[in-house]
Amino acid sequence: MLKIKRQSLFLNAAFVYSLLFILSCSVKTVTPIETLILAPSIYPLHSDITATIFWIGEAADASNDFIANDVSSWDGHWKDHYGGLDDPNNRKGYYPSSFTPKENPFYFALPYNDIDSTGIRKQNAYTKVYWAGEKNWGHNESMCKNRWIQIIKGNKVAFAQWEDVGPFETDDSQYVFGSGLPVNKFNNAGLDLSPAVKDYLGLTGIDKVSWQFVEYKNVPDGPWKIIITTSQIQY
């Protein structure tokens, strides 16, 4: 009887040691999960949106429906005011390699413009644009230009300023200021992002991201706040 009890105790101890070994191995191989910290925002989050890359001074070709980016919807001399070509292939950090930009290299385009093709503010801007009622807007002042968004990809968040209109649409308020999907069918994209944003988030040419409007006071320090664009409409 004593021999049987000793054997049983030995088997139980072996089982416990084996279990502890398995658990210790499991603990060692667990990969810590990084916490994603977003800027506080009262605006809705747009998830799983196709984003493309564009840049100031981009030449017109088939990939952008032959739309050159030396001008923007709000700036007839965008490339000059920026300082030159924001070359996506020759970079020095988040800047083009040949010069320091005069305006924020973290910029984006969304498919809505509060100013129509004649230079007059659209009537729907007063009901669609979330912050339309925060002030009296000047004749040469866009409600949209220079506003901020946060862009989320995986466990990274970048911030950027609104400096152009697109991709390919100019009045998609149901998407930009609502819950609709982008109406653009050329490439299904709903957001254009600059080379600096691309590099910070590690994006490819066409990628899926989430984005959300944020107020400037909630934008954290980072490379996007070294140079801030303040210019308004300049045709």
Tell me, yes or no, whether 132 lies in a domain.
yes
pLDDT at 126: 97
For 160, the 3-state DSSP assignment is strand
Q: How many structural domains does the chain have?
A: 2
The per-residue DSSP string of 121-159 comes to BPTTHHHHSTTGGGSPPPTT--SSTT-EEEEEETTEEEE
Tell me, yes or no, whether 120 lies in a domain.
yes
For 103, the domain range is 46-225
Q: Which two tokens stand for residue 115?
A: 């100013």
Claim to verify: residue 126 and residue 161 sit in the same structural domain: yes
Claim to verify: residue 105 and residue 22 sit in the same structural domain: no
The pLDDT tens digits of the residues spanning 9-60 come to 333 444 444 444 444 444 433 333 346 889 999 999 999 999 999 999 998 7
Tell me, yes or no, whether 41 lies in a domain.
no
- Residue keyed to tokens 């667990």: 30
pLDDT at 115: 98
- Are 112 and 172 a contacting pair, CB within 8 Å? yes
Claim to verify: residue 159 and residue 88 sit in the same structural domain: yes
Whether the pLDDT of residue 213 is over 60: the answer is: yes
For residue 131, give the CATH number of its domain: 2.40.40.10
- Residue keyed to tokens 């009887």: 1
> What one-character DSSP code corresponds to residue 41?
-
Give the separation between CA 59 and CA 66, rounded to whole angstroms: 8
pLDDT at 64: 63
Claim to verify: residue 110 and residue 195 sit in the same structural domain: yes
The pLDDT tens digits of the residues spanning 135-193 come to 999 999 999 999 999 999 999 999 999 999 999 999 999 999 999 999 999 999 999 99
Claim to verify: residue 8 and residue 82 sit in the same structural domain: no
The pLDDT tens digits of the residues spanning 49-97 come to 999 999 999 987 776 667 778 999 999 999 999 999 999 999 999 999 9
- Residue keyed to tokens 């000793």: 6
Whether the pLDDT of residue 8 is over 50: the answer is: no
| Higher pLDDT among residues 228 and 20, named by residue | 228
pLDDT at 167: 96
Q: How far is CA 204 from CA 6, 96, 100, 197, 232, in A?
A: 64, 18, 24, 11, 30
Tell me, yes or no, whether 203 lies in a domain.
yes
